[in-house]
């Protein structure tokens, strides 16, 4: 078995794969490694490109999924097929420089008690995206108890015991990053370089970012339900206080003019809160049904290279 497995989930990045493999070969020239590329049912010619690359890259293990499962499950599928004592994960768009992998490996070598290292880099994008990143980190911290100051990225190196622990978590909606810090308190950030995307537009959009925040909140924690229950308790307390005030006014003989506007606003507000609560409960019930049904986490159509292991 290789000492290092590099897991790369890929979707619509056929043009970048050749350079990625070539740069990995140069960066890891002194390491016995394999590259596990998981094609997440990409609609372009990604699989054909992987078939061609396998002819000149014996270290390549290519996995073709039957249906798109998302980055987290595609990455876990690659981890399940990886045989290395260390498992690295990285994106397919060359924004994670392969030349930075030795830096992450050296950090683990220098700290034998660490279970994983996660590469981070300065946030150099605009004000709106910076604010979004901060908000995402804040939500992640309060929802998953992520250590303050720690940042999750997809550029990681994980020791085999932690990788095996990840695979025992059989959720159909996993949150890969938070799982790491929940399973081990020895996961640390290491500063690395980060390159701009060169092949096609970024797949990260505002809608995707909003969906990620929603996923973090609903699929990984009951925080929204706790907030909703506290909102209901606060609303009840406010209603009691207001009721006591008006009752006191009545005892004092003060006239209370009819306030249709306040009644209307209160009715609409609390009606909206009630509907929001019902929708939120529906989200959780749907998630529970999906988990109870236990559909396959992924389904493999074919594998090139490696021992041909499959996982569900």
Q: How far apart are CA 82 and CA 32, in angstroms?
A: 13
Tokens representing residue 119 in the block: 């590469």
Q: Could you give the residue ranges of the DSSP H alpha helices within the chain?
A: 14-27, 46-54, 71-81, 101-110, 127-144, 160-168, 176-183, 206-218, 223-251, 260-293
d(CA 70, CA 67): 9
pLDDT at site 173? 74
Judge whether 119 lies within some domain. yes
> Is 186 within a domain?
yes
Q: How far is CA 296 from CA 8, 11, 65, 78, in A?
A: 20, 20, 12, 15
91, containing H or E segment: none
58 with 119, same domain: the answer is: yes
Check: CB of residue 118 under 8 Å from CB of residue 152: yes
Predicted confidence at residue 271, as pLDDT, reads 66
The reply to whether 201 and 52 lie within a common domain is yes
131 and 248 belong to one structural domain? no
Assess if residue 279 is contained within a domain. yes
State the pLDDT at residue 18.
Answer: 95
| pLDDT score recorded for residue 175 | 81
Regarding whether 198 and 113 lie in a shared domain, the answer is yes
Whether 227 and 151 have beta carbons less than 8 Å apart is answered as no
Are 172 and 269 contained in the same domain?
no
Within a domain: 43: yes
304 Cβ neighbours under 8 A, 6+ residues apart: 50, 51, 54, 60, 61, 62
- What's residue 312's pLDDT? 41
CATH number at residue 193: 3.90.550.10
Sheet holding 86-89: strands in order across? Answer: 187-191, 116-120, 156-159, 86-89, 4-10, 33-39, 60-65, 300-304
Same domain assignment for residues 148 and 86: yes
The pLDDT of residue 131 is: 64
Tokens of 19: 């350079």
Please indicate, yes or no, if residue 28 is contained in any of the structural domains. yes
Beta carbons within 8 Å of 58's beta carbon, 6+ residues apart:
305
- Do 174 and 248 lie in one domain? The reply is no
State whether residue 38 is helix, strand or coil: strand
Domain annotation covers residue 217: no
Count of C-beta atoms within a 10 Å radius of residue 71: 19
> Are 245 and 172 contained in the same domain?
no
Condensed to tens digits (0 to 9), the pLDDT of residues 34-52 reads 999 999 999 999 999 999 9
User: Based on the domain organization, do 197 and 232 belong to the same domain?
Assistant: no
- 252 is in which domain, residue-wise? 223-293
0.85 cut: is pTM over it? no
Q: How far is the C-alpha of 287 from the C-alpha of 214, rounded, in Å?
A: 13
Q: Are residues 255 and 186 in the same domain?
A: no
Q: What is the rounded distance in angstroms from the CA atom of residue 221 to the CA atom of residue 228?
A: 13
| Distance set, CA 216 to CA 18, 43, 177, 265 (Å) | 33, 27, 10, 32
Residue 311: the pLDDT is 41
Q: What is residue 126's predicted lDDT score, i.e. its pLDDT?
A: 60
Residue 213 within any structural domain of the chain: no
What is the pLDDT at residue 52?
Answer: 95
For residues 94 and 43, state if they share a domain. yes
Q: Is residue 215 part of a domain?
A: no
Query: Are residues 103 and 156 part of one domain?
Result: yes
Total domains, the chain: 2
The segments of the chain whose pLDDT lies below 50 read: 260-261, 264, 308-312
């Amino acid at each position: 078995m290789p000492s290092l497995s590099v897991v790369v989930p890929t979707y619509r990045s056929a043009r970048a794969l050749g350079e990625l493999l070539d740069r990995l070969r140069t960066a890891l020239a002194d390491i016995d490694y394999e590259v596990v590329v998981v094609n997440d049912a990409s609609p372009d010619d990604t699989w054909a490109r992987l078939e061609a690359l396998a002819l000149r890259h014996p270290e390549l293990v290519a996995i073709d999924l039957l249906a798109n499962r998302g980055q987290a499950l595609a990455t876990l599928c690659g981890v399940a097929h990886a045989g290395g004592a260390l498992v690295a994960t990285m994106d397919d768009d060359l924004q994670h420089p392969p030349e930075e992998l030795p830096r992450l490996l050296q950090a683990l070598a220098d700290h034998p008690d660490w279970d994983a290292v996660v590469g981070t880099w300065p946030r150099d994008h605009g004000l709106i995206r910076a604010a979004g990143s901060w908000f995402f980190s804040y939500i992640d911290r309060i929802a998953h108890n992520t250590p303050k100051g720690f940042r999750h990225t997809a550029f990681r190196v994980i020791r085999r015991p932690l990788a095996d622990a990840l695979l025992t978590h059989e959720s159909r909606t996993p949150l890969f990053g938070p799982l790491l810090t929940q399973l081990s308190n020895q996961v640390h950030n290491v500063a690395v370089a980060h390159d701009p995307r060169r092949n096609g537009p970024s797949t990260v959009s505002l809608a995707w970012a909003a969906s990620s925040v929603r996923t973090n909140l609903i699929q990984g924690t009951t925080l929204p339900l706790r907030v909703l229950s506290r909102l209901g308790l606060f609303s009840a307390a406010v209603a009691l206080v207001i009721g006591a005030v008006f009752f006191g006014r009545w005892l004092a003989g003060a006239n209370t003019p009819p306030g249709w506007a306040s009644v209307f606003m209160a009715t609409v507000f609390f009606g909206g809160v009630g509907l929001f609560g019902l929708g939120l409960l529906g989200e959780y019930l749907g998630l529970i049904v999906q988990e109870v049904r236990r559909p396959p986490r992924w389904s493999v159509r074919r594998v090139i290279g490696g021992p041909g292991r499959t996982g569900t």
